[in-house]
């Protein structure tokens, strides 16, 4: 059944090639129809008049999120992924990678199989789209495990990864891996050949070892500064290599907790808007508030917007993408156009979905977010479905 067309009017539209002031954008059958033209919809269209101070931007893409709303990818159920997908539009996120974590192999396999099946057959219209899977661990360094359980870390194994990719129905799109571990370069090279993003993370690699990983095909860095060898004036480490090499796109958790605002500003100056991807690395406690939660069988305490293990180790975040975007603007002085680059364009291009996601252009998926003058989310459309409207929360 055809859906009624929707037209958003009067706000500033941040299109792929230009900003249209007091513009109009039309959606029909899940796609963007066009801008500021005679849409020929007659009386069939639903017209939504917006204040001139509002902004219409592309939906955000979170390539690193474990959970939200009490659910986690490692729960390995359709219900968990549906919960995550249903709450993300509240923060302007219209698609994401379901992110696993280091666990016993059978638990990882259940999560991968479940996510693969969910992507194929379980997605719910009107929710954020699960674009694929981010495999974070277990091919990481014990020295830089962070909140990843050390006992479940294993050496990179190409044959095992191939089995896991088959189990996931080919939907693993990004893999966090430590390039200094034996067997990693073979895996990274294979990932590159298969158009899977190889991301350096939870790594104690030296600068030279990072460069070797890059030569093998690594192109991404998982949550820069966190879970990696830091910058030293005689050993640049993972951080130094990430800042120096344009081949590497860097994730940032812009909550002001995982990385100090001053270093976020420094990173932005060095990398620019085309080589930064904002992520949340959120865990199940997002949207639920302070309390005790589970992360991979470990007790996590959430208090004052910070999630930690018993020993004080940071255990993911509870930040929302629109909050990260606002923080980034505050920390760096960047513009909304820069935010669109870091939350929509860059991840869409990395995941090879820019032909249908990541910008507002005719023919692309109608993943659209309306922001007010304070950059708070007013409405979110996922493939033309009104998925969130402020004031409608139950």
Distance (Å, rounded) from C-alpha 248 to C-alpha 199? 9
Instruction: Determine the Cα–Cα distance for residues 100 and 162; give it in Å rounded to an integer.
Output: 16
Known binding residue 327? Answer is no
The answer to whether 316 is a known ligand-binding residue is yes
- The angle at the Cα of 94, spanning 339 to 372, to the nearest 5 degrees, equals 55
Q: Please indicate if the annotation marks 230 as binding a ligand.
A: no
Q: Is 226 annotated as a binding residue?
A: yes
Catalytic pick among 75, 281, 365, 367: 281
Q: What's the full length of the chain, in residues?
A: 394
Query: Which strand (E) or helix (H) includes residue 193?
Result: helix 184-193
Residue 147 among known ligand-binding residues: yes
| Active-site residue, 62 included | no
Nearest Cα residue to 23 out of 14, 31, 32: 14
64 carries a ligand binding annotation: no
136 is in an annotated binding site: yes
DSSP assignment of 289-339 equals: -SEEEEETTEEEEEETTEEE-TTS-B--B---HHHHHHHHHHHH---HHHH
Residue among 297, 292, 317, 313 nearest 146 (CA): 313
Q: Are 279 and 225 in contact (CB under 8 A)?
A: no
Is 46 within any annotated ligand binding site?
A: no
| Helix count and strand count (H, E) for the chain | 10, 23
The DSSP annotation for 93-123 comes to EEEEEEE--S--HHHHHHHHHHHHHIIIII-
11 is in an annotated binding site: no
CA distance 183 to 379: 46
Write the CA distances from 348 to 132, 173, 186, integer angstroms.
12, 12, 26
**Which residues are annotated as part of the binding site for substrate?**
147, 226-227, 234, 258, 314-316
- Hey, which residues are catalytic here? 281
Query: Which residues carry a binding-site annotation?
Result: 136, 147, 202, 223, 226-227, 234, 258, 314-316
Query: From the annotation, which residues make up the binding site for Zn(2+)?
Result: 136, 202, 223
């Amino acid at each position: 059944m055809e859906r009624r067309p929707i037209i958003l009017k009067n706000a500033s539209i941040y299109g792929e090639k230009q900003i249209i002031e007091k513009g109009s954008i039309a959606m029909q059958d899940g796609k963007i129809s066009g801008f500021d033209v005679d849409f020929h919809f007659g009386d069939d269209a639903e017209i939504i008049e917006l204040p001139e101070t509002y902004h219409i931007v592309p939906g955000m893409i979170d390539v690193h999120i474990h959970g939200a709303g009490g659910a986690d990818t490692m729960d390995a159920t359709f219900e968990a992924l549906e919960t995550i997908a249903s709450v993300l539009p509240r923060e302007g996120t219209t698609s994401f990678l379901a992110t696993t974590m280091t666990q016993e192999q059978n638990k990882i396999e259940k999560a991968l199989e479940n996510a693969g099946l969910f992507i194929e057959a379980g997605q719910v219209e009107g929710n954020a789209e699960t674009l694929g899977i981010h495999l974070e661990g277990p091919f990481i360094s014990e020295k830089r495990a962070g909140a990843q359980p050390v006992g479940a870390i294993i050496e990179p194994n190409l044959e095992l990864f191939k089995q896991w990719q088959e189990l996931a129905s080919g939907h693993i799109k990004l893999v966090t891996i430590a390039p200094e571990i034996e067997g990693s370069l073979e895996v990274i090279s294979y990932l590159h050949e298969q158009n899977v993003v190889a991301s350096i993370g939870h790594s104690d690699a030296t600068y030279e070892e990072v460069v070797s990983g890059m030569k093998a095909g690594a192109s991404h860095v998982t949550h820069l500064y966190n879970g990696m060898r830091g910058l030293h004036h005689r050993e640049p480490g993972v951080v130094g290599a990430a800042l120096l090499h344009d081949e590497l796109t860097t994730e940032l958790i812009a909550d002001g907790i995982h990385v100090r605002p001053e270093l976020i500003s420094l990173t932005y100056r060095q990398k620019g808007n085309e080589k930064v991807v904002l992520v949340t690395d959120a865990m199940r406690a997002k949207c639920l508030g302070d309390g005790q939660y589970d992360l991979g069988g470990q007790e996590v305490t959430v208090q004052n917007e910070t999630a930690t293990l018993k020993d004080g180790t940071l255990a993911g975040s509870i930040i929302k993408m629109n909050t990260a975007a606002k923080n980034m603007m505050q920390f760096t002085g960047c513009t909304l156009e820069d935010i669109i680059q870091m939350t929509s364009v860059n991840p869409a291009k990395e995941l090879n979905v820019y032909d249908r996601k990541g910008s507002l252009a005719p023919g692309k998926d109608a993943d659209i977010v309306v922001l007010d003058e304070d950059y708070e989310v007013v409405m979110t459309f996922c493939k033309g479905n009104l998925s969130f409207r402020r004031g409608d929360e139950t």
